[in-house]
Amino acid sequence: MSARPAASRRTVLKGAALTPVAGLGLSACGGGGDDRAAPLSGPVELGPESEVAEGGAKLYRDHNVVVSRSGDGTLKAYDTLCTHAGCPINKLDGTRLICPCHGSEFDVTTGKVLREPAVAPLKPLAVEVKNGTLVARPQA
Ligand code: FES
């Protein structure tokens, strides 16, 4: 019985070493269905309001939220799960959001589709500033 625990430990360690690799594979794919990111379910603090310049935008990948600010200072926020097949969108070029899965593009000042295959606009979120911090939440 003294030799068996060592073999078991090796088996466990081998399994643990493989698990993150399998997890990364699923995350990198992004379009499989079960591994999709969930939409925002409640309020979330994004960061300092000053991070979003007038006429610019900032992508908060960890929360799947993008915030833009118009020239007059108006803030808008959108869910960044692609409306085509649900991929988390991870690239922002100016105010253009680009989906890595099939190349759809969205205008983050309006949520509108700039390039198919997506046809539905981004889902709008509510956004406000609390004590200098941007807070996004699902729209009521
Ligand atoms: Fe974004 Fe297909 S999931 S373009």
- Centre of ligand 1 to C-alpha 36, Å, is 12
Residue with tokens 């493989």: 18
For ligand 1, pick from 84, 90, 91, 98 the residue to mutate: most ligand atoms within 8 Å of CB.
84
Domain 9-138 classification at class level: mainly beta
* Sheet containing 105-107: order of strands: 91-93, 96-98, 105-107, 113-115
For residue 5, the model assigns a pLDDT of 45
pLDDT per residue rounded down to tens, the chain (140 residues):
444 444 444 444 444 444 444 444 344 444 344 344 677 889 999 999 999 999 999 999 999 999 999 999 999 999 999 999 999 999 999 999 999 999 999 999 999 999 999 999 999 999 999 999 999 999 98
Hey, what are 75's tokens?
């803030």
Which tens digits make up the pLDDT trace of 70-88?
A: 999 999 999 999 999 999 9
The residue extents of the domains of the chain are 9-138
92 neighbors 100 (Cβ within 8 angstroms) = no
| Among protein residues, the one whose CA lies closest to atom 4 of ligand 1 | 102
Q: In the prediction, which pLDDT does 29 show? A: 41
Which residues contact residue 14 at a Cβ distance below 8 angstroms, ignoring those fewer than 6 apart?
Answer: none
SS3 of the chain: CCCHHHHHHHHHHHHHHHHHHHHHHHHHHCCCCCCCCCCCCCCEEEEEHHHCCCCCEEEEHHHCEEEEECCCCCEEEEECECCCCCCECCEEECCEEECCCCCCEEECCCCCEEECCCCCCCCEEEEEEECCEEEEEECC
In this prediction, residue 39 carries a pLDDT of: 79
Rounded distance from Cα 38 to ligand 1 centre (Å)? 15
Residues with CB under 6 A from ligand 1: 31, 82, 84-85, 87, 99, 101-104, 117-118
The pLDDT tens digits of the residues spanning 112-133 come to: 999 999 999 999 999 999 999 9
